[in-house]
Structure 1
């Protein structure tokens, strides 16, 4: 690991570091199946559909020099920004999701490990004491913490005992005065709830588009006893069964894991910037960015991040109503009332029209998606310096049996906005590393699994001199 970290900071003076051939880069192996993606702080918090850190690393080291600016305008878990930080570049991450902002900033913020270790032990000790001796106070705080709708959500997805433990933990975390340290523990806390197995909630998994509540709930004093109980249950109930774990014990495990990653982060003279914002209207100056590496949501909103993220965000002061409003702003939604559509280039418009013939609502949703992506690509074109590159990693989708041809459409939109698109690379996805639903098996007839076995890596190059005026909204 130490050698890996040193390698990330090496200054490369060869031709590749000064500006490699984009087409050549996109022709290389982009799979990285044999490489680990959990070094440094990359594994701080579960996040669906993360690309491997080696992917942005390849483009960052090949297309930028130390000190240059690398942007991810839809940063998600912050993989690109963390790699920029590790490579000695100035990373900028922007996202509209409040949990994504917390996770990303924590992953790239070095802290005093000794101080964090002491603070973690204090949190655990006080939380255990509160659960053992101050249960009535915890119950009172639980009753006063949320509005009725949020309270109903909490009661449906968390047992009373789990609520008490989580309340004890978050109560101690909220007392931490230093913002960066408090965020670190908020991410640890969130990581006990949002996991592929649904963490300490009653959700069977939080990787699925719509979480499912366990029908059989088991309490066990040990993993061996719990495993025996599951084996004894019927096959029909096996994937409907949840083994409840102590929230405090799970917090302790996640804390120790994240502390190990924190120890591998070094201080930098180029700390990354994290901004709340919409990629359709970037809060950045014209021609101020040297490289963009990002992965937008798929068309048809294949992964609804807020469905999972609200499970921990409600414990951090957000209400269900507030999170619902935020969700409507996400890229790829289906609401089109009063939406301002963009004029689409010919082939993209034809794809939208074909799907609209099969399902008008789906067609309008796809038109919305490509309109949003038009505005995003326009903003990327604006903030990139002349001659610089944007890398967009995207998968295609299926609507009513028709492929949305997303990579082709985005390439066409990019060309209409003035980008050069020399090549679209393809990477095969490692299914074992995807956050697929618990208990799911390969299903060749499943549309979601069909479109999740590969991604496309589109290279957009902004010309040295501008020759094509961007299309305007209508």
Structure 2
């Protein structure tokens, strides 16, 4: 195994992009946890992929890397992989150009139909079918449920699938904004009683604002996208063999999960209300975090992972809490399966760019950037170019965690990111 050259690992504030506008083009379509800002992706593409033809983001999330690939002229293909249906929908819509005049026409009809339905319901001339999922009344006020049902019914009547999906993304964002959840949370927490009393959203107006904002963004994207870049959104799992060909990819840009969803970023919880309103099976929605990386803890700490840094870190955590150490191990065992798949699909000479956070568990910081290097280099053929350390001014992330699970005992976590650059030799 090659040793990690620490002189290649250094703080570089030019990667902070502290005051950068991160919602240009279609990047602001929908909030999502731990979104990689487009400026990082753009810079990585320009530094390591200006001649690349095929980009892959194996942990696609909301599709930042794919969207950036379609804004660069050199790419012929961009692959994105995710298991979360909301991520698949957002990424598909962000990277699907739609003629602005068509959107405006469909939007005008949509809003007119919504307003007509609302008027008829107010005068009791018709009723609207509402979804039936657990705790809907806990998360939404009755008036909000009615208005969301009106919007969803009329979006479903749009015949053009791309246009329908476009408005479903704006609808999904409206679901979150109109719900009884606390703002700016990535897990589901209900507002307290005093906040609930003041919470009286104009749901249809919220939808209109979001839809119109996204339509303006689509105008910009429609004029600038690379029509030769074919985007492939894969509802697959990077832990297993994907539909990508052997040695097809020449650039990977990705920000993988920082740990298991239960204790870090709960992508499934974040997506739950939207997906239930979008009509997904409740059992599948509730299962997203469990089937994510590290969702099923290992039975013990025995493992064959070829990372000395990981083994030492696991031992430190186990000295405090063996159960939490098993949680951590389960994540890296799953992650190593992903490394094997990325090894299969990348060409010789491909650059692999990981943007990772080194989280803290039981007071022990886990050096994920070094663990990733060791897992790749255990397969040989990987050169470490650099690891840039940046501050996180933008990410929708927890800045505090409870390292001991004792209420009130908090530590700073994930206020920096490590950008790891590897080349397949």
TM-score normalized by the length of structure 1:
0.79
Q: Secondary structure at the match of 1:328?
A: coil
TM-fit CA distance, 1:28:
7.8
Q: What is the Cα deviation at residue 449 of structure 1?
A: 6.7
- For 1:34-75, what per-residue CA distance to the aligned partner results, in whole angstroms no more than 9, with x for missing partners? 321111111111122212211111121222246701110101
Question: Does residue 1:105 correspond to 2:92, yes or no?
Answer: yes
- The residue aligned with 2:287 is 325
Q: Tell me the residue number matched to 1:354.
A: 316
Show structure 2 runs of 5+ residues with no match. 1-7
For 1:291, the equivalent position in structure 2 comes to: 251
- Is 1:250 matched up with 2:206? yes
8 A contact 2:13–2:390 mirrored in 1: no
SS at match of 2:22: coil
Query: Helix, strand or coil: the match of 1:71?
Result: strand
Distance 1:27 1:290, change over 3 A: farther
Q: Which of 1 and 2 has higher RCO (CA within 8 Å, sep 6+)?
A: 2
Deviation at 1:83, TM superposition (A): 0.4
RMSD: 2.9
1:326 is paired with a residue of what secondary structure? coil
> Deviation at 1:214?
3.4
Shift of 1:312: 1.0
Q: Shift of the alpha carbon at 1:333?
A: 2.3
Q: 1:134-171 CA deviation, whole Å, 9 max, x = no partner?
A: 366875511xx43xxx2x32111011100000000000
CA contact (8 A) 2:299 2:326 kept: no
Q: Secondary structure at the match of 2:108?
A: helix
Q: Which residue number in structure 2 is paired with residue 216 of structure 1? A: 194
* 1:155 counterpart residue number: 137
SS state at 2:414 partner: coil
Count of residues in Structure 1 that have an aligned counterpart in Structure 2: 405
Contact residue 397 and residue 451 of structure 1 kept, 8 A: yes
Structure 2 counterparts to residues 30-429 of structure 1, below 5 A? 30-65=15-50, 68-88=53-73, 89=75, 90-134=77-121, 139=127, 141-142=129-130, 145-146=131-132, 150=133, 152-194=134-176, 199-205=177-183, 207-217=185-195, 242-266=198-222, 268-281=227-240, 282-301=242-261, 302-336=264-298, 342-418=304-380, 419-429=382-392
Change (3 A) 1:436 1:388: closer
* Compared CA separation, residues 377 and 217, structure 1 to 2 (3 A): same
2 CA distance for matches of 1:376 and 1:447?
Answer: 34
Q: Does the residue aligned with 1:420 lie in a helix, a strand or coil? A: strand
Residue aligned with 1:29, SS = helix
1:138, 1:164 within 8 Å by CA — same for their partners in 2?
Answer: no
What secondary structure does 1:103 align onto? helix
| Whole-angstrom CA distance in 2 between matches of 1:447 and 1:420 | 40
**SS at the partner of 2:330?**
helix
**Cα offset for 1:452?**
2.4
CA contact 1:193–1:201 (8 Å) conserved in 2: yes
Query: Which string of whole-angstrom CA distances, capped at 9 and with x for unpartnered residues, describes residues 235-259 of structure 1?
Result: xxxxxx6532111000000011001
Q: 1:131 & 1:338 partners in 2: Cα distance?
A: 57
2:236 & 2:78 partners in 1: Cα distance? 15
1:113 and 1:259 in contact (8 A); partners too:
yes
- How many Å separate the matches in 1 of 2:294 and 2:400? 27
Counterparts of 2:38 and 2:409 in 1: how far apart (Å)? 27
C-alpha distance in 2 between matches for 1:70 and 1:108: 14
Unaligned runs of 5+ in 1: 1-22, 219-240, 464-474
Please, what TM-score do these two structures have when normalized by structure 2? Answer: 0.88
Aligned residue in 1 for 2:5: none
Structure 2 CA distance for partners of 1:200 and 1:214, relative to 1, 3 Å? farther
The verdict on how the C-alpha distance between 1:457 and 1:363 changes in structure 2, with shifts beyond 3 A counting, is same
> Which secondary structure does the structure 1 equivalent of 2:191 belong to?
coil
Q: Match of 1:421, SS? A: strand
Q: Please name the residue that 1:8 is paired with.
A: none
**1:320: Cα distance to partner?**
2.5
